[in-house]
Amino acid sequence: MAMSSTYFSTYLVALFFLVVAGFDACSASRIGLGSRLLARENQTLVSDNGTFALGFTPTSDEDDRLQLAIWFAELPGDRTIVWSANRNSAVSNNAILELDTTGNLVLMDGDATTWTSNTSGAGVEGATLQESGNFIIYDDVNRPVWQSFSHPSDTLLPNQPLSVSLELTTSKSSPRGGYYALKMLQQRTSLSLALTYNMPETLYNSSPESYYNYSYWNGPDISNVTGDVVAVLDEAGSFGIVYGESSDGAVYVYKNDGDDGGLSAASTRSLVLRRLIIESNGNLRLYRWDNDINGSRQWVPEWAAVSTPCDIAGICGKGICNLDRSKTNASCTCLPGTYKENGGSLCSENSSLTGKCDSRSNYQPSQFRISTVQQTNYYFPEFSVIANYSDVENVTKCGEICLADCECVASVYGLDDENPYCWVLRSMDFGGYEDPASTLFVKVRSNGLEGNAKGSGESSKGSGNQQTKVLVIPIVLSMTFLVALLCLLLYYNVHRRRSLKRTLESSVILSGAPLNLSYRELQIRTWNFSQLLGTGGFGSVYKGSLADGTLVAVKKLERVLPHGEKEFITEVNTIGSMHHMNLVRLCGYCSESSQRLLVYEFMKNGSLDKWIFRSNHSRDKLLDWQSRFDIAVGTAQGIAYFHEQCRDRIIHCDIKPENILLDENFCPKVSDFGLAKLMGREHSQVVTMVRGTRGYLAPEWVSNRPITVKADVYSYGMLLLEIVGGRRNLDMSFDADDFFYPGWAFKEMTSGNPMKVADRRLEGAVEEEELIRALKVAFWCIQDEIFMRPTMGEVVRMLEGSVGINMPPMPQTVLELIEEGLDHVYKAMKREFNHFSSFTINTHPSSSQATCSYSTMSPR
């Protein structure tokens, strides 16, 4: 009976496991036989530490069609897919993934089998999703029977081997008709890692592989080796080839600067997420996930195999790739006989125009003609070559050779060390590119206007042509005169408008004002806005470079007030006219149509918060006391300048560490000033949309009192406390005594223990007299009553020690918290910690509205 009871209990436990694993697999990393994932219930299998998830996700083309995939589970934004079982055969919402009782993993869409692992009868025990991103089906001795690492899609993860028999590929249902691949190419005496553009095998039937693919990038050759040859991305971010019996040989394709351990196919897991992907445009690119790019979280490119887009075959389908002046952006033009499908950029063949003849016996060259494309070359494999002539007399002869050959569809003329060549081609599948030294001849069908005038009218044709010439010449001359007159009028009109625009701009832009740059120029200078530095309340910031090589930060304004162009230029001119060593300099701007961009000087050391707050990414960043105090003084000087020394007084409205930038010498510079509406000296209140960050907001924001420059003084005081303490003013990771830094710091300062509140990482290396001075100034700045706060000019003098500082009273807010009981407040905030969100405060009069978002909490 006991045995029966034990058996029954075991059966219940097993049944419970199957139910959990099969129908609620959002937290499990393993599944057993009979388990299922249902697409309509959005079920997923998650690795032990939550790094990866396996489940159903929409395809990139259709939201209602799904693919079975593995992706990074914890990253924000769109899912980053690293493996897919059925990207070329999407399924519906009724799809089911089942590890059946025979050990076969099957993807079913209704009654149809879309994909299978083919592991029936292999002694399968279960499956697991590992922290490496590898999905493994294993047998009863935990040995892999099948694994996703051995069936890659378009992505290689760290420690995932790419052997000679494997390849990374883009989707084979690409609109190009072909697809891209990263694979090992077998040469006669060596192996090489290569990127290839591949045409569908069905077009070439049983032809050798070299007939239907073209290699446009090659890694290092590996020759005369024994053992396995494997391409691998290691945990340190290096990519290369490992070979030999014991994998003791290694050749780098890309070596990360921080990789000192050597290339290895199996290394310890890194905390940095990386992926190597062959992108849909044919480039191979290595990405690193960065949580700390000016406060944003995103994938950052570390390396790319191809630097110029037109070096990639098939990038324009069968068309020609053209580079702009920057050599970074490409456009596509179509050859004669091809056209752009559905308004896209890829060129497809028009079979009614191409120069392919039907049969050799009936070939008539008169039915075709040669179209010349200057300064153009073409990618072609060895199979495409009919002949190569090195004795052509001139360029035109190369086209004539193609026209005379039925099988020829195009020919390429060029010079090789000043020796002419003419390649005669039977197919054009891999696209072309600009080449000043080459000429491309394309054979197309005649349009029917040539060679049709033969017959009995030969004698009369000459006189007819002569009469036509007599009529045509006066008409052509008249039309030429009219066109020239119209062009002259158009030029005059355009020139007049440009002169008026220049006069308008010169009237509102003072000398020394920012440069007026075109949107196109900024696209080029920022490499088409490809290097994102961060995002903020007013828009995104991109890295760029001016013509002289000066690095800049380009802010793309996204939510600006609907100013006209003249008003915008006037405000930009006001901001740009402010020159101070502690303000970020505005170098230029763009105002075209709805586009509004500002160009600032680039700050090498980023924002202050990266240097004073602890984080996993800034453990080696620690400012000494002297640097901190100098930054505090410099920041105060910058704010004092636009408060008191400018013709147009400015309220910043968002003083915080993230808006204090540091140059290569750690000189502080205040950024984002003037992006709130400029305030004239005669006004005391900002009547526009302004922003702030909770935790730095003055009490008058909440109490609807007038907003003056003293609001910035309050924010500066909170910033100064954080510089001193090296921590956020409110940090729930501390205990109830010191979670609210201003209250704890004031208590310790008045108790005669100011050194206790300095950043602990400084280990006492602090100038005590400067510390006390900074604390006193900070507490004067954060007084609730506006009249009690000093001006920023007074703040500078107090910090510099040129005036004495009385002991400040405890700020009313701090006093109220202490009277209420910090322990009680701590517990209440602990409960509400995850429930704070953005808020809006309306100030009076009704024309004044302040919208404030925040990134740190406050007990206020």
As annotated, the active-site residues are: 654
Q: Are 545 and 522 in contact (CB under 8 A)?
A: no
CB atoms within 10 A of CB 266: 11
Yes or no: say if 424 and 408 are a contact pair by the CB < 8 Å rule.
yes
The 3-state DSSP class for residue 55 equals: strand
Q: Could you say which DSSP state residue 129 is in?
A: E
The DSSP H or E segment spanning 776 is helix 768-781
Of 246, 189, 197, the C-alpha closest to 221 is: 189
The answer to whether 443 is annotated as binding is no
What lies within 8 Å, CB to CB, of 191 at 6+ separation is: 164, 184, 185, 221, 222, 223, 229
CB contact at 8 A, 387 and 407 = no
764 Cβ partners below 8 Å, 6+ apart?
Answer: 755, 758
Per the CB < 8 A criterion, the answer to whether 688 and 848 are in contact is yes
Contacts of 606 (CB under 8 A, 6+ apart): 294, 661, 662
Contact 386, 409 (CB under 8 A): no
Answer for the pair 430, 197: CB distance below 8 angstroms, yes or no.
yes
How many Å apart are CA 812 and CA 294, to the nearest integer? 34
Q: Is 354 exposed, middle or buried (0-12, 13-18, 19+ CB in 10 A)?
A: buried
| Residues 6+ positions from 811 with CB-CB distance below 8 Å | 742, 746, 779, 782, 783, 784
Structure tokens at 151: 């069936």
In order, the DSSP letters of 811-857 are PHHHHHHHHH-HHHHHHHHHHHTT----EEEE-SSTT-EEEE--SS-
In whole angstroms, how far apart are CA 108 and each of 23, 36, 68?
16, 11, 11
Binding residues for ATP: 556
Binding residues: 556
